[in-house]
Amino acid sequence: MKPIFRVVRIIKNNEVAILLETAIPVKINTICIHVDGVNALAFAERISKSLAESDITIAKVSEII
């Protein structure tokens, strides 16, 4: 799924692709999943799995601030 790939790439590379070959540097500490969509739970489960498979640590917000 493209959105999940983008999130993993943003976190791993510390940059966001904004145009075909243009990226801006970013440091991501959190991601937000909008829960008002019918597929929000399934998306959250898939993104959690993809982050874990990519060796990206998932933590509570209270643990990082």
| Domain extents in the chain | 2-64
pLDDT, position 1: 56
pLDDT, position 19: 77
pLDDT, position 65: 77
pTM for the model stands at 0.74
Contact 9, 56 (CB under 8 A): no
Rounded Cα gap, residues 14 and 50, in angstroms:
17
Exposure of 20 in the CB half-sphere (CA atoms within 13 A): 0
Write the pLDDT tens digit of every residue in 19-49: 777 889 998 888 888 888 888 899 899 999 9
In the chain, what percentage of residues exceed pLDDT 90?
37
